[in-house]
Structures are given as structure tokens and as C-alpha cells.
């Protein structure tokens, strides 16, 4: 285990495509053909208000380091808008609610037969798996464990007072203390969950996360900027320690001497008490990015502001993407919360901030085009003229074979004589008219 390394891979941005889900499903035991993975539809997944996909791979070895195995955990997180998900596929455009279906608040003084103030829907909306994902769960994948016992393939968190209707053939286990219900899915057939609309105001309590993290850019202009990260410890009595890890692109060059960490609460420890250790590896242009790793300790009920300045590099015009004015994506920071058995955190937990969009100095790509066109025109004219002068042979007219220069002279003399006679003939005619 001492020779193992922790490797992080990040992809700041990727164009969303339904085929992004196919390689992810191929890693599953049932390839998305059975179990809860049958709910993963590319159109529904990437149409969610927010979604993320992750794969965590780690080795598991006993104390004697014999028989090590590799554990892979695949995670899909989605935030769905129930009203949007329930729209029919053939008519996905939102339309106003008909007048007869409006629920008006009659307590308003301006409420009348022709004026309606919509009443807030306090009860939870009804939904089914078919409404949210467009399909039901098909069968069960890995229905039993290594001991031959049935495994719970699906768990949902709802208040224990809520009524849930499920398909026949499933086994339900209710944990009212944690507001959780788990189901053993049938090995064959389709499984459906229906949560009818209920007036109960009970909600599932939201667990308090161990840390809040917010990351953003500061400053203005196309030459320099700054990064600000707010780290909040919500615990009122426990100090939290974690490792803050950032990988920056090479064209984003931070000034490590401007790195500052300060508490913005009433209790303000020194920077040495907040940042206990630093690992920094500078970037190499067009070869590798900057790596910065900080071990930070945040006091209870405190917020720490972490800031540093950076300089923006100027790229070659061939290094800009087609949508250069959109900006460049910066990978999110990775926060590894260290284990704390006393706080019921025996293993490390990982958090990731949102990615950032960096605006770099962008040239006017129409100007190189104009310069290329003008230069090409001048070069074509110059080259064409020189090429004609170099390869064309100039000879006298009398030196050409089969060419009678005397005939040309006679023809020219005849033309000139004709012009002379015509001119003098007109002059004589005018003189005769004057005499008469």
C-alpha cells in the first residue's frame, strides 16, 4: 500500500451528447439492461437541471497485503424538475395553465371573477418513475450477495408519513429513523413507484455537510486576475482539516507570494494556523499545468477566504478554440476532507467546487484573414508579372517564320490612304457648299 498513488483526472468541459452515457453503462455488471441502470436514458439525464457523472477506483487490500482487489464505484447525480419531466414528449413546450384549472387565492382583496392570483401549491407534487425517467425499472441486477441473501437495489428518502405505492413482487423495508425506504426488486418484470400528491408538510431533514466551498474569479482586465475561495466550517464546536488541491492550466500563471488565507469571522487565526503545509509545482509552457496542494484547518463556525493573483498568458493564434470568445474552462478544485473518527467520519470525503470560465486576451481573427488575402493578392500580381518576364520570349515581327512584313506595311498604308481620302473628301464637300 505504501507504493500506491492517488491520481486525479479532471475534464473541465465536454460537449454534452447522449453517447457519453454509453461507455459509462458498459462498465456496469448488467450493462444497463437490468436494475436501476435501466432508468438511465441519455435524453432524460442530460436534460436535467443539473447532472454529474463520476467513477472512483481504489484498491482494497487486507492487512497482510494478500489478495488485493480493485473497487470501482460509479455515481450519477441528477436534479430534476418534476413539472418539466412530466411534460409529454410530443408537446414539450410549456403552456399556460387553463383558466378552469387555476387555483386562485381568494383572500386577496383584488380577487374577482376576472382576476386570479394563483395560490402556491403547498403540497408535494405526485410523480412516478415513468414520469421522471420515461420508463420503469426492468428486473434486478445482482439480486443476491455472496451469501445468497437478497440485496436492496433501490432506496428512497421520504418522510415515513408519506404513502408510496409500488408494483407487486417487491419487498419493502422502512427505516423511520432515517426517513428511508429500501426495496428488494423482483428478478423479472417491471417495477414502478408511485408517490401520490399529499398534503403533509413533513420534509426530510437535510444533513449538514462537513464543509461549504465557493470559488470564483476576482479582478478585471485582460492581463491579470485573481481567484477567491470561501471555505466555511458549519460545525459549531469541531475544527475541520482538509487538503485543498488545484490544477491550473499553463496559461494561468499564479503568483505564489500573493497567496493569502484569512478568516472573515470574529475569530481570526494567523495564516500559519490556517495553512499548515504547501506543495507547489510550477507550470511549464505548453507541457504541464500548475499544481497547488494546501493542507488547511478551519476553526469551528468560521469562514476562511483563500486568495491569490495570477497572470494571463498570450496564446498563439493557432492555440485558440473555434469559440475563443467564450473563454477557457478551468478545472474545479478538489477538497479531500481528512478522516476524523471522533466526528463519525472514519474515511476521507471528497468535495469539488464548480469549474471556472477564464477569459484570455483574444485577437481579432478577421484581421489575419484580411492580411492573408491582401498579401496573397500582391504576391500573385508580383509573381505573375515576374513569371511572364522570365519565361516569355520577345522576338521581332520580321523574325517570325511565315510572317510577311511587307504585306503588313501595305495594309497599313492602304488604311492610312483610305482615312486621308475620306477626310479630304469631306473637306472638299464643305468648301463647295460654302461657294454655292
Mean pLDDT, consecutive 10-residue stretches, the chain (436 aa), reads 68 74 87 87 84 82 76 88 76 72 78 75 74 87 68 81 83 80 85 80 78 93 92 89 93 93 77 87 92 92 93 89 87 90 78 90 82 92 88 70 68 82 71 63
What's the confidence (pLDDT) of residue 159? 81
Phi and psi angles of residue 431, each rounded to the nearest 5 degrees, phi first: -65, -40
Average pLDDT score over the chain = 82
For the stretch 357-379, pLDDT in tens is: 999 988 888 887 888 899 999 99
What's the confidence (pLDDT) of residue 226? 95
What's the confidence (pLDDT) of residue 107? 80
Polymer length in residues for the chain: 436
Confidence (pTM): 0.70
What's the confidence (pLDDT) of residue 381? 92
CA distance 355 to 216: 9
CA distance 328 to 320: 9
Q: DSSP letters of 243-283?
A: EEEEEE-TTEEEEEEEEEEEE-SSS---HHHHEEEEEEE--
What's the confidence (pLDDT) of residue 118? 75
Cβ-count burial 387-425 (b if 16+ within 10 Å, e if not): eeeeeeeeeeeeeeeeeeeeeeeeeeeeeeeeeeeeeee
Query: Could you write out the three-class secondary structure of 124-136?
Result: ECCEEHHHHHCCC
What's the confidence (pLDDT) of residue 201? 66
For the stretch 237-259, pLDDT in tens is: 888 999 999 999 999 999 999 99
Give the 3-state secondary structure of residue 208: coil
Amino acid at each position: 500500500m505504501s507504493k500506491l498513488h492517488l491520481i486525479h483526472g479532471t475534464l473541465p468541459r465536454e460537449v454534452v451528447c447522449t453517447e457519453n452515457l454509453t461507455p459509462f453503462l458498459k462498465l456496469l455488471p448488467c450493462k444497463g439492461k437490468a436494475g436501476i441502470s435501466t432508468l438511465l436514458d441519455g435524453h432524460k439525464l442530460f436534460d436535467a437541471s443539473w447532472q454529474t457523472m463520476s467513477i472512483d477506483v481504489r484498491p482494497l487490500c487486507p492487512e497482510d497485503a494478500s489478495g488485493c482487489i480493485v473497487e470501482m464505484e460509479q455515481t450519477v447525480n441528477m436534479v430534476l424538475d418534476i413539472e418539466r419531466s412530466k411534460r409529454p414528449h410530443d408537446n414539450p413546450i410549456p403552456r399556460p395553465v387553463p383558466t378552469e384549472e387555476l387555483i386562485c387565492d381568494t383572500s386577496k382583496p383584488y380577487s374577482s371573477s376576472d382576476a386570479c392570483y394563483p395560490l402556491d401549491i403547498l403540497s408535494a407534487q405526485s410523480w412516478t418513475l415513468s414520469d421522471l425517467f420515461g420508463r420503469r425499472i426492468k428486473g434486478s441486477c445482482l439480486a443476491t450477495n455472496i451469501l445468497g441473501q437478497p440485496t436492496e437495489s433501490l432506496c428512497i428518502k421520504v418522510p415515513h408519513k408519506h404513502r408510496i405505492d409500488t408494483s407487486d413482487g417487491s419487498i419493502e423495508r422502512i427505516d423511520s429513523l432515517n426517513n428511508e425506504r429500501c426495496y428488494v426488486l423482483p428478478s423479472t418484470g417491471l417495477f414502478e413507484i408511485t408517490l401520490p400528491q399529499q398534503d403533509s408538510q413533513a420534509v426530510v431533514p437535510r444533513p449538514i455537510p462537513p464543509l461549504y466551498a465557493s470559488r470564483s474569479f476576482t479582478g478585471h482586465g485582460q492581463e491579470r486576475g485573481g481567484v477567491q475561495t470561501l471555505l466555511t466550517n458549519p460545525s459549531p464546536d469541531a475544527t475541520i482539516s482538509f487538503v485543498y488541491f488545484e490544477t491550473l492550466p499553463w496559461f494561468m500563471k499564479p503568483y505564489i507570494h500573493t497567496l493569502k488565507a484569512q478568516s472573515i469571522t470574529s475569530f481570526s487565526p494567523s495564516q500559519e494556523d490556517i495553512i499548515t503545509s504547501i506543495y507547489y509545482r510550477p507550470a511549464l509552457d505548453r507541457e504541464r499545468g500548475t499544481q497547488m496542494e494546501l493542507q488547511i484547518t478551519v476553526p469551528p463556525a468560521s469562514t476562511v477566504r483563500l486568495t491569490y493573483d495570477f497572470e494571463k498568458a498570450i496564446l498563439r493564434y493557432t492555440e485558440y478554440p473555434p469559440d475563443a470568445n467564450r473563454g477557457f474552462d478551468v478545472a474545479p478544485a478538489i477538497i479531500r476532507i481528512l478522516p476524523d473518527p471522533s466526528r463519525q467520519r472514519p474515511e476521507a470525503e471528497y468535495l469539488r467546487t464548480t469549474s471556472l470560465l477564464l477569459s484570455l486576451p483574444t485577437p481579432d481573427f478577421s484581421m489575419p484573414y484580411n492580411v492573408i488575402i491582401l498579401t496573397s493578392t500582391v504576391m500573385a500580381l508580383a509573381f505573375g508579372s515576374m513569371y511572364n518576364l522570365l519565361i516569355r520570349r520577345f522576338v521581332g515581327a520580321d523574325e517570325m517564320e511565315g510572317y510577311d512584313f511587307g504585306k503588313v506595311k501595305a495594309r497599313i498604308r492602304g488604311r492610312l490612304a483610305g482615312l486621308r481620302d475620306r477626310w479630304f473628301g469631306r473637306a472638299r464637300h464643305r468648301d463647295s457648299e460654302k461657294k454655292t
